[in-house]
Amino acid sequence: MKGKADYYWRKSKEEGYPARSVFKLQEIQEKYRPLGPGNRVLDLGASPGSWSLYILDMLAGAGRVVGVDLNPPDDKLASRRNYCFLQGDFTTGNRTLDTARSAEIARNVLAICDTCLAPGGNCVLKIFQGGEEKEILDRMRGRFAAARAFKPKASRSESMETYFLGLGFTGRPGPG
């Protein structure tokens, strides 16, 4: 139930993570391995920082994480080696509006991939179901060797969120 402390929320606190979302990334990592030693990771919408903390722990000092969010990280994350924070936002911070704009946000993430992601790189993005999922997944399939949708167990059953994974960036698709 929304608003209640559930299993994943309690577990996140016990393990020192600020949010339950860490277990979504953990499951994605266990199944698909989008992250590896020495990776450089851009965490867009990084607040409250669970994904960045998990990635830094996983990278064990090799690689780098750049977090971007309107809200600055807490001291636990800000003081971590190999972490850089850029204050800015590409969403409104309004859940209702961001859900409605989910496909647009996903398109923006793919545009960032087109200009910043190295060949062979991977992308994990969250999208809220709203009817444009197929178009976004097709766009990912045009840029990555493999692309798929995935709903982690840590996602609440009533949540309309789905994660899209793009593995093996091949580059920006040509015209047409």
Q: Where does 60-131 have alpha helices with state H?
A: 75-78, 95-100, 102-116
The secondary structure element, H or E, covering residue 51 is: helix 50-59
- Residues 6 or more apart whose Cβ sits within 8 Å of residue 107: 136, 139
- Residues 6 or more apart whose Cβ sits within 8 Å of residue 92: 98, 101
Cis peptide before 48 (omega within 30 of 0): yes
**Between vectors from CA 125 to CA 121 and to CA 127, what angle results, nearest 5°?**
155
CB neighbours of residue 153 within 10 Å: 10
Q: What is the DSSP letter of 48?
A: T
Sequence letter at residue 17: Y
Out of 126, 134, 151, 153, pick the active-site residue: 126
Q: In the annotation, is 126 catalytic?
A: yes
Please give the positions annotated as active site. Answer: 126
